[in-house]
Chains A and B, each alone.
Chain A
Amino acid sequence: MSFTFNEKNLKKCDAILKCYPNKQAALLPVLWLAQKQQGYLPLDAQEYVAQLLDLSPVHVYGVTTFYTMFKTKPVGKYHLQLCRTLSCALVGMENIGHHLKEKYQLEHDSVSKDGRFSLELVECLGSCGSGPALMVNDSLVEHLTIEKLDKLMEKLKKD
């Protein structure tokens, strides 16, 4: 089945277009909307957005592959982004990365077999003073410890 915006998102799309003097400038917000609807950005969604904004599919593809938060492949129901940069590394991020691998078989850019979890090691999340920092989908978890992580994973496994 090919991708189209639902009614609600078509309306949102119109509102977005009003904020910019040309259609191309609406590309990032419209891609965000498509990703929210579909969970990721398969090629047909990218082509749909291209058509909607009068852009070439290759332009859109160039953009989706430039930005790390646009996903061209599916991620887990819970997408974990663990910050790997210096300030978090200074306060124990490496142990947490190790634990995710040993206990949950989650490595950078991997999705668990049941599709529930995926992990990405990412760069500085702007929470350096309260690291180690982890994003679980859209929410930030700060001062992460192994105990805190285990509790969180237990909870998410049951959801």
Chain B
Amino acid sequence: MKKVLTNRFLIENSHTLKVYREHGGYQSIDKLFATKPADIIEEVKRSGLRGRGGAGFPAGMKWSFIPKGGDKPVYLCVNADESEPGTFKDRYLLEKDPHQLIEGIIICAYGVGCHHAYIYIRGEFDLAYRRIQEAVDEAYAQGVIGETVLGKEYKLDITVHRGAGAYICGEETALLESLEGKRGNPRIKPPFPAIVGLFNSPTVINNVETLSALPFIMNKGAEAYRQWGTDKSPGTKLFCVSGHVNKPGVYELPLGYPLKDLIEKECGGVAGTGRLKAVVTGGSSVPVLTAEEAYSARLDYEALMEKGTMLGSGGVIVMDDSVDMLWALRNLAYFYAHESCGQCTPCREGSGWTYKILDRIYREGGSEKDLDLLLEIADNMVGRTICVLADALAMPVKSYITKFREDFVKNL
């Protein structure tokens, strides 16, 4: 299948400007600058492209919130913080096709009137960091960006900014704080970043995968993008499969693809015991599915919502029937307790106690009351905090305990 995002992944030296150009790279620039910015936004709206960082917000609509003709500069922040457990797609986009991202940044920047974009990349990335930095340097050296964009009268700077180890900095307002040289504490919204974002200026924040789809949409048009996916979830998506499958990895598939086929056809089936127990579909923060639910699920925003879960980041974690779900939830609770920024009491205390209680049940046992307490804590974490990290733990807690209660009861 001809695809949107991964067409060049197997080509040697796909990360270099030369190879990118030989394979259709930067071809959208002429058309881009011959089109009005407002029409670019309309085209992206028509494509139905939705944010691939987790929330699935329509990209064109987000751009249209940027005020026109203000006196403040407009910023674009590229979210390359990729830290959601089970997610490793942006890393491949950065390693294998960094110029595709840069072309996407040019398209978005022109659309919203931005002249300085920052790529916020997680500090642990090694090759991905070197590749994107080299690509930006090469783009400057060859006049792709800088004083002009390939000779078009448009100034565009791109700065790669390294994080330093903090999951929370993937949350968009924490990312802004971090970029401003502060602790990564999420901001209270409103005001939304489109109005008051980076350096108090209007700001667009988009995920690496979202922006990487733009060159295709510019070149081939919104309709071509819609040949894949469903009406409400058009296009393709990268799915990162980890855990108990025979061929883990990143797969580009049309949205709406059956989860069963992803596991059995693409990934060569369930590994380990060979029998499926549970699947997480959108990174560790979304409710878990039982094997039965998973086998009838389709991978798009609406279909997964109907199953009571989410598409999230596309991080698919597969667990065979040897997995103790108490052990798995305890592992995740530790993650969220460790990563909570600590500003909100329900999140800071809730995540800490959730881990401590799960750890005690795991090591020493407990009573039914402990399970009720865990569910009550989870209820008190939802919808009461500055960002949704608290919900991101509460949802697994509720779904693991209600769907796999026997795994918890066996330890009591």
Give the interface of A toward B (CB within 8 A): 19-22, 24-29, 31-32, 53, 55, 59, 62-63, 66-70, 81, 84-87, 89-91, 122-131, 135, 138-140
Chain A residues closer than 8 Å to B332, beta-carbon distance: 85-86
Given A25-B181, A85-B85, A126-B82, answer yes or no on A90-B243 (Cβ-Cβ < 8 Å).
Answer: yes
A108 to chain B, nearest CB (A): 12
Chain A residues closer than 8 Å to B83, beta-carbon distance: 123-124, 126
Further pairs besides A25-B180, A129-B249, A139-B126: 17, Cβ < 8 Å:
A27-B182, A29-B161, A32-B162, A53-B181, A59-B182, A69-B123, A69-B164, A69-B165, A85-B332, A89-B331, A90-B243, A123-B83, A126-B124, A128-B87, A128-B248, A131-B242, A135-B126
A27, A89, A125, A131: the one within 8 Å of B181 (CB): A27
Chain B residues closer than 8 Å to A81, beta-carbon distance: 124
Please tell me which stretch of B62-70, B145-153, B315-323 contacts chain A, meaning at least 4 of its Cβ atoms lie within 8 angstroms of it.
B315-323
Residue of chain B at shortest CB distance from A138: B126
**Segment 168-191 of B: residues with Cβ below 8 Å from A:** 178-184
Q: Are A62 and B183 in contact (CB under 8 A)?
A: yes
Residue of chain B at shortest CB distance from A27: B181
Indicate with 1 or 0, residue by residue over B315-353, a CB within 8 angstroms of chain A CB atoms.
101010001000010011011001100000000000000
Indicate with 1 or 0, residue by residue over B84-122, a CB within 8 angstroms of chain A CB atoms.
111110110000000000000000000000000000001
Q: Are B315 and A128 in contact (CB under 8 A)?
A: yes
Flag whether B269 is at the interface (Cβ < 8 A): no
Chain B residues closer than 8 Å to A59, beta-carbon distance: 182
Q: Are A69 and B124 in contact (CB under 8 A)?
A: yes
Given A21-B199, A140-B127, answer yes or no on A90-B242 (Cβ-Cβ < 8 Å).
Answer: yes
Query: In the complex, what distance in Å separates the CA atom of A92 from the CA atom of B122?
Result: 25
Q: 6 tightest A-B contacts by CB?
A: A27-B181, A69-B165, A67-B164, A68-B165, A128-B242, A129-B248
Flag whether B197 is at the interface (Cβ < 8 A): no
Indicate with 1 or 0, residue by residue over B194-214, a CB within 8 angstroms of chain A CB atoms.
000001000000000000000
Given A63-B181, A63-B183, A128-B85, answer yes or no on A25-B199 (Cβ-Cβ < 8 Å).
Answer: yes
Q: Are A19 and B159 in contact (CB under 8 A)?
A: yes
A18 to chain B, nearest CB (A): 9
Flag whether B125 is at the interface (Cβ < 8 A): yes
Query: In the complex, what distance in Å separates the CA atom of A99 from the CA atom of B90?
Result: 32
Given A126-B91, A129-B242, answer yes or no on A66-B183 (Cβ-Cβ < 8 Å).
Answer: yes
Q: Are B164 and A123 in contact (CB under 8 A)?
A: no
Given A123-B83, A123-B338, A124-B83, answer yes or no on A28-B162 (Cβ-Cβ < 8 Å).
Answer: yes
Q: Are A28 and B85 in contact (CB under 8 A)?
A: no
Residue of chain A at shortest CB distance from B336: A123
Q: Are B86 and A86 in contact (CB under 8 A)?
A: yes
Chain A residues closer than 8 Å to B338, beta-carbon distance: 123
Q: Are B165 and A67 in contact (CB under 8 A)?
A: yes
Query: In the complex, what distance in Å separates the CA atom of A29 from the CA atom of B284?
Result: 30
Query: In the complex, what distance in Å separates the CA atom of A139 from the CA atom of B129?
Result: 12
Chain A residues closer than 8 Å to B132, beta-carbon distance: none
Flag whether B163 is at the interface (Cβ < 8 A): yes
**Segment 241-255 of B: residues with Cβ below 8 Å from A:** 241-244, 248-250
